[in-house]
Structure formats: structure tokens, C-alpha cells
Amino acid sequence: MAHPRVLRAMAAPLLGHLDRTENPFTIAASGPGSAGMEAALVDLIEPGDAVVVVTAGAFGNRMAEIVGRAGGRLIREEGPGGGLGP
């Protein structure tokens, strides 16, 4: 027997990840989290901008690569090991 509160929650309409904005112009980009990170960085970085990236694993290294491709001036700080991969 499920608690009535659980049954009410299960009966509620689903809220998807694309429903979480009130912005009238939203573009959904299909891809992994890295694609979102790259889209955000490329949109923000202008050629020559100084960008500090702490590298402590695969995602930090990937971010450092994106900064270079966007024309940013990378200031790399090595963080403690951890994260996902080298």
C-alpha cells in the first residue's frame, strides 16, 4: 500500500527538462553535457579573453581545449587529482 502522498505525486503531470524555463526563446540542443559546456563557453569567450580553468580531470582538460579553440587566452591552474579520467 503506497502512502496517499506518493500516489498524488505519481498522478501529477510530468515536468521534463525542457519545461524548466520561462524564456520565450529557448533552443534545446541534443547532446552530452560536454556539448552544453562547449556551447556556453564558445558563446561567452571572445578571442583574446583571459580565461582561468582549473584542470582536475577530463572535464577540466576538455574545458581548457575549448578555451583554446574559442581563441581565449588560457590561464591553467592544476587542481588536485580526481574527476573523470586524465
Burial class (CB in 10 A: 0-12, 13-18, 19+), 66: buried
Is 40 within a domain?
yes
Is 60 within a domain?
yes
Is 9 within a domain?
no
Q: How many domains does the chain have?
A: 1
**Whole-number Å distance between alpha carbons of 33 and 40:** 11
Is 23 within a domain?
no
Is 4 within a domain?
no
**Cα 5 to chain center, whole Å?**
33
The pTM (predicted TM-score) of the whole model is 0.63
pLDDT by residue for the chain (86 residues), tens only, comes to 999 999 999 999 988 777 777 888 877 778 888 898 999 999 999 999 999 999 888 889 999 999 999 999 999 998 876 555 55
Domain encompassing residue 53: 30-79
